[in-house]
Structure 1
Amino acid sequence: MSDTGPGDFEFERKFLVRELPAVVASDPAPALIVQAYLFAADGYAVRVRVQGGATTELGTDPGELVSALDQDAIGTITTKGPAVGGTRYEAERELDPLVAAEIVRRADHVVAKLRYSVWLGQDGWVVDQFLGANAPLVVAEVERGGPVVDLEIPSFCVTELSEDDRFRNEYLAYRPFAGWAEDYRRELDRRGPSFVDTLGRNQFEGHRPSDHR
């Protein structure tokens, strides 16, 4: 994300992952992210986040998770617009981390996750392992400075979530994954995996069959 004023956009694609891949589990210092959604409706959202290294064993309560962040944690506030074709308006600004932490402590709709980072092929990937009511959800994301086209998709990506609003963090803040995980698994088993085919040519690691929808 940039800090260049109006006109900020993010370009990303995201994918479901069955479990934390070994290639990212080796990250020795994943970031702990605890974020509150102060508003979310029709694709628009306002988010306050505090992020840093974890200093203690992680609990499940948002207040405990915020307390687990190290002294170098950073705070941000972000406004978002609806996503279209892997592109979304996103303007992010820094906040005093102490203020951000206290807002998150007092919020009703909070998402917490561990974020692992790894470089694969031509892209930097992050893999988010969700905590609390959104466990055991694991989501991989790739972000670029422009549309994410002609992407080489790692073999650990089960299906694409880029156009599934249920997996946006603001949705998960209000409707945690644990409450509908089994229904989604049955849905995925029934319809099979699918990948966005309007962003260039998808390349699948390990020569995955080309007939994915």
Structure 2
Amino acid sequence: MSDSGFGDFEFERKFFVADMPAVAASDPSPALIAQAYLFAADGYAVRVRLQGRAPVDLDGTPAELVSALVDDAIGTMTAKGPAAGGTRYEAERELDPLVAGQIVSRAAHVILKIRSSVWLGEDGWVIDRFLAGNAPLVLAEVERNTPVVDLAIPSFCTTEVSEDDRFRNEYLAHHPFGTWAPDYARELELIGPRFVETLGQNEFEGT
């Protein structure tokens, strides 16, 4: 729960990244995240996550990577509500990592990703490189305890997808990015980059 007075709500903005930014390498301890979606419909979702230090060797199968995580990981279960204007209800509680690992290993819809955390200007960012069926997707997120307004957007952010439900993890768990990446590339080429204009003044790096 946030101490900002907003309770179980998260405030974030999300961006599609065309090329893995060099700044991600500055994180000395990237995390491997495996998360299973037990339910997802109409913006509501129930997620079980297992998160631990990313191994150097990522050549294993998804099941092998999940199994390796259990020895040194954090388990959580989260209930989410629909998102609107960069705001989403999210209530989370800890789970025994052994239990979380067993749930994830048995789930039909699982996301695997490597998360790098970096500090840019006044904000902490996470850069997620997705694995398995969602490769080669890379997304960047910034989260605050209050609405994310007047944001300084790094140059590696190609376009904003905060309001594009296709880039929510629960959607990607059911519809892996690898199956529609060429279609999205054509779409992006056609419509060009877009950024939310209703959350204060966007400031773009290098402009």
TM-score range, shorter chain: over 0.9
Which position in structure 2 is the counterpart of 1:79? 79
Q: CA deviation at 1:34?
A: 0.2
Q: Tell me, which stretches of 5 or more residues in structure 1 are unaligned?
A: 208-213
State how 1:67-146 maps to structure 2 within 5 Å: 67-69=67-69, 71-146=71-146
Output the aligned Cα RMSD: 1.7
Q: Determine helix, strand or coil for the equivalent of 2:69.
A: coil
Q: Distance in 2 between matches of 1:73 and 1:15?
A: 27
Q: Structure 1-normalised TM-score?
A: 0.92
Q: Distance in 2 between matches of 1:167 and 1:65?
A: 23
> Would you identify which runs of 4 or more consecutive aligned residues in structure 1 move more than 3 Å?
1-4
Q: Determine helix, strand or coil for the equivalent of 1:28.
A: coil
State how 1:49-64 maps to structure 2 within 5 Å: 49-55=49-55, 57-59=57-59, 61-64=61-64
Which position in structure 1 is the counterpart of 2:158? 158
Q: CA deviation at 1:98?
A: 0.2
Which position in structure 2 is the counterpart of 1:168? 168
Q: CA deviation at 1:70?
A: 6.2
Q: CA deviation at 1:165?
A: 0.2
Q: Distance in 2 between matches of 1:131 and 1:2?
A: 30
Q: CA deviation at 1:7?
A: 4.1
Quick one: percent identity of the two aligned structures?
73
Q: Structure 2-normalised TM-score?
A: 0.95
Instruction: Return the letter of the residue paired with 2:139.
Output: V
Q: Determine helix, strand or coil for the equivalent of 2:139.
A: strand
Q: Determine helix, strand or coil for the equivalent of 1:78.
A: strand
Preserved CA contact (<8 Å) 1:54 1:68: no
Q: Tell me, which stretches of 5 or more residues in structure 2 are unaligned?
A: none
Q: CA deviation at 1:162?
A: 0.1
Are the structure 2 counterparts of residues 135 and 3 from structure 1 closer, same or farther at C-alpha, using a change threshold of 3 Å?
A: farther
